[in-house]
Amino acid sequence: MGWKLRKRDDVEPILPLKKCFCFDNRMGTFVGCIIITITALVEAITVFLDWLTYDENLKFEIHGAFRSFWKRLFWKGFAICDGIMTLSHVIIIALCIFTIVAILRPNKFKIYDLLPTLRVLYVTMILYILIELGISCYVFSWYGLAGWRLPFLVWRNMFYLIRFFCNVGFCIVFYSYACEISQELANPEAKDPNEAGGIALGFQYQGVPILFLSGICFVIGLERTFHFFFKLEKLKGTAFFFGGILIVLFVSPILGMLLEFYGFFVLFSGFFPVVLNFMSRVPVIGPFLCQLLAWESA
């Protein structure tokens, strides 16, 4: 007598997901692509720093990591790993940026155009996760437990673990959104998801600058906030920042985001030295940042 597995109608399957936390799968995919792009870019910078340590003429050392001369003894294996990860980071960043553009431009990238992009994205994400896992195991086999004794290596190990779980989660979200689109395409009577998609996504995206402005008002008050944004020397940045918000909502999300970023840079560029000074005193990344700035100035 064997057991029979029967499907229960009152229990929903775990996959595909219906939504990503408080977001729907569309917005979850959008946020996931942004986070993956930023984290992969940070990791690509660390790989680039590894490339610099291979050149004896530069005499570049990463503070808080193993001395460079030790890695040069086994440079072939590390160089192959860095080369594979550099290519992987470039591919995943390019795919995420393309997906972001496709989601922001629903009038140009229809739902049937977005579906193959999502399939390529989550398959590439699976390969990206497996490749990075294999290379991390190879590097850890050389470092061993000593990799948890140096500050920079501890930070990189923890950063990888956080990225690993985030990448797995976002890969599931990408797969769920692809399944959702497949179901919508299979049901022609369903409402077109591209209708008002750009405006809805635009309003969701504007939550970030709105919360940012609200935070400034609560911290320094309405009067000081008004004087800050409408000073004579700040009018250029203010015009680009608030103009970008309107362009995101009514014209072009991509163009509006670029204008907002430029306005933000103009408005707050005077605070960047203060931020760098503060970051230089942070225990893990502070000495590394000071060394990097000193190396560039030399």
Q: Can you tell me the mean pLDDT for 265-282?
A: 73
| Residue 25 and residue 164 share a domain | yes
Q: How many residues does the chain have?
A: 298
Q: Would you say residue 37 has pLDDT above 90?
A: yes
Amino acid type, 63:
H
Q: Would you say residue 2 has pLDDT above 50?
A: no
| Residue 178 and residue 31 share a domain | yes
Tokens at residue 268, please?
């707050």
3-state class (DSSP) for residue 20: strand
Q: pLDDT tens digits for 156-205?
A: 888 888 889 989 988 888 888 888 888 888 775 555 544 444 444 555 55
Mean of the per-residue pLDDT values of the chain: 75
**Spatial separation of the C-alpha atoms in residues 153 and 65, rounded to whole Å:** 6
Q: Can you tell me the mean pLDDT for 231-243?
A: 84
The runs of H, that is alpha helices, within the chain are 25-53, 68-72, 75-104, 111-143, 151-186, 197-205, 207-220, 222-229, 235-250, 253-268, 272-279, 285-297
CB 125 within 8 A of CB 167: yes
Q: Would you say residue 11 has pLDDT above 60?
A: no
Domain containing residue 254: 206-279
Inside any domain, residue 45: yes
| Residue 116 and residue 43 share a domain | yes
Q: Would you say residue 279 has pLDDT above 70?
A: no
Inside any domain, residue 273: yes
pLDDT at 241: 84
How would you class 27 by CB atoms within 10 Å of its CB: exposed for 0-12, middle for 13-18, buried for 19 or more? buried
| Residue 177 and residue 249 share a domain | no
14 pLDDT tier (thresholds 50, 70, 90): low
| Residue 85 and residue 41 share a domain | yes
pTM: 0.62
Inside any domain, residue 285: no
| Residue 98 and residue 31 share a domain | yes
Count the domains in the chain. Answer: 2
